Amino acid sequence: MRYSIGVDVGGTFTDIVSITEDGRFYFTKTPSTPGDESVGVIRGIGKVARHEELALEDLMRQTDLIIHGTTVATNTMVQLNGAKTGLITTKGFRDEIEIRRGIRESLFNIKLPPPPPIIPRHRRLGVSERVTAQGEVVVPLDEDAARAAIRELKAAGVEAIAVCFLFSFLRPDHEKRVLDLLAEEYPEAYACASSDVFPQIREFERVSTTVVNAYIGPKMKKYLNQLEEQLRTSEFKGELFVMQSNGGVTTLREATRRPVYALFSGPASGITASTFFGKWLDTPNLITVDMGGTSYDVCLIADGEPAMGQEHWVSRFRIGVPMIDVHSIGAGGGSIAWVDQGGALHVGPQSAGARPGPASYGLGGERPTVTDANLVLGFLGGGSFGGGDMQIHYDLAAQAIQRHIADVLKLSLPEAAYAMFRLVNSNMTNGIRVVSVQKGHDPRKFTLMAFGGAAAIHAGVQAAELGIPQVIIPKMAPVFCALGDLLADVRITELKTFLGDLNETTYKHMCEIYRELAERGASKLPRSTIVGKKILYYADLRYSGEVHEVTVGIPTDGDEPLSSGLERLIEDFHRKHEQLYAYRDTTNKIEALNLRVDAVGLRSKPSLGVASCLSGGVDRALRGERPVFFDGIKPTATPVYDGTKLGAEDRVTGPAIIEEEWTTIVVYPDQMILVEPQGNYLLHVRDRGSHAS
């Protein structure tokens, strides 16, 4: 038997999905291990081995592919514990990373302090060289000064060095030469250049992205090498891929060379799975919500394509590389509730994480979390879950909420828990509005896709508040991101700045550049594990005089840009600009700024099977009843069903609770849920009553 394994490391749990060559799935979770995520990964794979009644080594020998979504890059930036890093840049421009755009990210916060200097000024060294905005060399690189800078940084004990010169996106010669000098003078250092990491116009974005890449590079490289070594020691002979934030996977070599592309790769894999399911279920317009232990991640998928963005901030540093546009808020199951000095209740963004976790987990947590509130309200049941691997304690949850919320606000225990519940739901609903209403989309025309261990408890509320008629809850919702790893294609991104008015002449030149980028990207695709390839082309366009761009797909003819596609491209730009900003200006010139090519290595997709049809009606799945506080005042006797005993075409009318091994689904009053033929849950929202407040 041959296996493929998807791994997603979250803030609270590490999710594992295995699939056999004949399409048999198994999934599980294990607590994440902050500090060394590989420990949790190996433990999770060990659980798969025990389920298959194999020794770990035997499972590894039979595993062809492991695809890994990791939070190492993200956590390094969140915790600001990356490598000791230096910067070599054009003389006179070492303060670019602090000058930034000359404005604060929060314009109305006059007390906003400067961001933490991940590279202090004394480790930012300038050397003489100069390239003009037309790509002409006016000052040759001073190689002696470059060697001196490298030696100074080496003497300072830096572990990583970023190289970023002015206009190197037009002429990268000087940066490449400094990389050669680094290989001679300091080969032990992790080194990267902006012309390789992010070769696009705008100096601050480019230097910030390159600096972050260098800052997280050594830790990412060490972790991936350590994980690979542990897997090889366990007899793994297959291929190891790493998930990226653009929704594709990449090789270990590419992931260590450009780790900045792995920031937020975890949420991106969930979007990849959602896109696949949307096409499979003929539902191309989706709003995805992923609620795990730490965060609540939201994304919009229109016409089968997830929204992409290149304007992201991580710990107040700009990241310019293309990412799936995921909006995250601190509203996970482990988000902590607290009361400020003015008596106002807050939920998050602080999280109890994997350790100690929610108070109800009994692992030492004392602060009340969203999970604790859901337990007190009756949405969750006490006892064990996850096949008995985890315990959840009502009394510990009640004590935490009573002490820190109810007593402080002079509320009853159910009222305090319900206040937490309403507040976190309001935060979630606002998060959905950010990716939909604020981007020109009507959420009522979309279907909600809810996944992650906790999303299905709250999804019925968000749908009712926003008028969304239906929610899809995948059968594998608790490990949807790990499943997305297995569904993702290999994706290599190549970028180039191109400045010019959009007309027939420039479009022809753009097509020539696209072919060069496509060839370069395709050459980096692995020869094995893919069954084909496709090339996607994009351009950043704007009206003349505008500051920001709109990314538009280029019409294609097979794997080539369509030579006669200019008029269609122009209309697509007008339409998208009008959707985003509510106007189109057909009298103005359109400028092209950046070109992007995604070389996609297509991987064979697993069959997700069909749910069994069971006889005897839904009563066969009934476990009993428990009181649930849908309004925070009066408990309602609510039937509880075993999700593993529900079959295709089964219907459950709310109020009801459906319990799966690693997640719980709440069917609110006046809602109904249907098990569709593949075993996924379709929640129909028929009323926008008070339970959704």
Average pLDDT, the chain: 90
Q: Are residues 552 and 685 in the same domain?
A: no
285 lies in some domain: no
In eight-state DSSP terms, residue 102 is: S
Q: Are residues 582 and 651 in the same domain?
A: no
pLDDT, tens only, 39-98: 889 999 999 999 999 999 999 999 999 999 888 888 888 788 999 999 999 999 999 998
pLDDT recorded at residue 388: 60
Q: Are residues 648 and 679 in the same domain?
A: yes
Q: Are residues 82 and 215 in the same domain?
A: yes
Query: What average pLDDT does range 195-224 have in this prediction?
Result: 94
Query: What average pLDDT does range 537-551 have in this prediction?
Result: 93
392 lies in some domain: no
Q: What SS3 state is found at 264?
A: coil
What is the percent of the chain where pLDDT is above 90? 68
Q: Are residues 648 and 682 in the same domain?
A: yes
184 pLDDT more than 90: yes
Q: From its phi and psi, is residue 102 left (phi > 0), alpha (psi between -120 and 50) or beta?
A: left
Tell me phi and psi for residue 168, to 5 degrees: -70, -15
Q: Are residues 156 and 177 in the same domain?
A: yes
681 lies in some domain: yes
283 lies in some domain: no
For the record, the structure tokens of 526 come out as 């692995």
268 lies in some domain: no
Q: Are residues 63 and 84 in the same domain?
A: no
Sheet containing strand 590-602, strands side by side: 25-31, 13-20, 3-9, 63-69, 239-243, 249-251, 490-501, 590-602, 532-543, 550-553
Q: How many domains does the chain have?
A: 4
CATH code at position 235: 3.30.420.40
Confidence of residue 689 (pLDDT cuts 50, 70, 90): very low
471 lies in some domain: no
CATH code at position 533: 3.30.1490
pLDDT, tens only, 378-412: 999 877 565 566 788 999 999 999 999 999 999 99
The whole-angstrom separation of Cα 434 and Cα 299 is 9
Q: How far is CA 215 from CA 81, 251, 374, in A?
A: 9, 20, 39
Confidence of residue 471 (pLDDT cuts 50, 70, 90): very high
224 pLDDT more than 80: yes
Whether residue 117 is preceded by a cis peptide bond, meaning omega within 30 degrees of 0, is no
Run of H or E including 42: helix 37-51
Query: What average pLDDT does range 501-513 have in this prediction?
Result: 94
pLDDT recorded at residue 117: 86
Q: Are residues 641 and 555 in the same domain?
A: no
pLDDT, tens only, 601-616: 998 887 776 666 676 6
653 lies in some domain: yes
Q: Are residues 91 and 48 in the same domain?
A: no
693 pLDDT more than 50: no
Q: What SS3 state is found at 193?
A: strand
pLDDT, tens only, 339-351: 999 999 999 888 8
Q: Are residues 71 and 82 in the same domain?
A: no
155 lies in some domain: yes
User: What is the span of the domain harbouring residue 596?
Assistant: 489-602
Q: Are residues 43 and 131 in the same domain?
A: no
Confidence of residue 664 (pLDDT cuts 50, 70, 90): very high
Confidence of residue 267 (pLDDT cuts 50, 70, 90): confident
Contacts of 468 (CB under 8 A, 6+ apart): 287, 443, 444, 446, 447, 448, 462, 685
Q: Are residues 193 and 250 in the same domain?
A: no
Where is average pLDDT lowest: 97-111, 541-555, 618-632? Answer: 97-111
